[in-house]
Homo-oligomer: A and B are copies of this chain.
Amino acid sequence: MKMVRSVNFKEELETKTREADRVVRSFLPEAKGFPAQMIEAMNYSVAAGGKRIRPILVMEAFRMFGGRGDTAWPFMAAIEMVHTHSLIHDDLPAIDNDDYRRGKKTTHAVYGEALGILSGDALLNYAYETALSSLADGKQTDRKIRALRILANKSGVYGMLGGQSVDVQNEKMGSLSLSSQELDYIYLHKTSALLEASLEMGAVLAGAGEREAAAMEQIGRKTGLAFQIRDDILDVTGTRETLGKPVLSDAKNQKTTYVTLYGTEKAEEIVQELTGEAEKLLERLPGEKEFLCGLLEWMACREK
């Protein structure tokens, strides 16, 4: 793996996070509107968000294929709404039962469980309201429809939500019982699906062809898997201080991970392999992609 990450990568990431954050927030329901509490909960959940990785991926893929202007904006917001919806529902008492995420109270912890469920629903729905509203100007309709269908397919039963459903069932069954195929299914759907959607949508909105879009999808697939394996590794090698969350929680919960299946060293090798493959795919594509390449590497090799 080449060290393509520039010295200024961190700074650039921060700038792009701010940019993406501004775009995402500009599409949220007007904070002073009615129904007040639901809108407040929707805004709260998105505001509590992290690095806006998915919207940044949309934007970078869009630019890489020559996209200019604000066509990708509603889709950047939409993918972040789908993602945030999944976090809100994941944190619910019936699923992960987390009252805190990134040091902030989770949505249901602030607004109650009922509004946690309903405002998660409303954010998922608002992703479609937002992306569909982009069709109003009658411009680039075909590209936007392609992007919308990617968004819907990657988010649903055959994408992210499907992955979550298997994850939840397996946690119920407990104790190290997953096969490597099952674990891959979960990671590739729960995590990869929305990264695939981000990169593919950005490309498609800029006019990329089928083969280029498929390559972007593959890059998202490999990066998502590497990202998730990195999570497994950090749970063993990280510290509470750097991660900001408890370590060794997988072992405690007897979860099957890449570390339990392959050991830390082999898991690390697989991350390097996947990242290398993703970078190779990216290199073959046209356009300016230095930052995107750095971002993919950062996602797989981060230390927290």
Contact = CB atoms under 8 A, between A and B. Distances in A.
Contact of A141 (B95, B118, B141): B141
A7 interface: no
B122 A124 contact: no
A121 interface: yes
Given A38-B161, A135-B145, A125 B152 contact: yes
A37 B132 contact: no
A129 interface: yes
Contacts of A166: 35, 37-38
A115 interface: yes
24 contacts: A34-B185, A35-B162, A35-B163, A35-B166, A37-B165, A37-B166, A89-B117, A89-B121, A93-B94, A94-B94, A94-B112, A94-B117, A95-B117, A114-B168, A115-B168, A118-B164, A119-B165, A120-B121, A122-B165, A124-B125, A125-B161, A129-B149, A133-B149, A135-B149
Contact of A115 (B38, B85, B92, B169): B169
Task: List the number of copies, as a whole number.
Answer: 2
A35 B152 contact: no
A43 to B, nearest CB: 11
Interface of A: 29, 34-35, 37-39, 42, 85, 89, 92-95, 112-122, 124-126, 128-129, 132-133, 135-136, 141, 145, 148-149, 152-153, 155-158, 161-166, 168-169, 172, 185
A132 B118 contact: no
Given A35-B165, A129-B152, A152-B128, A85 B121 contact: yes
Given A135-B145, A145-B132, A37 B125 contact: no
A85 B122 CA distance: 12
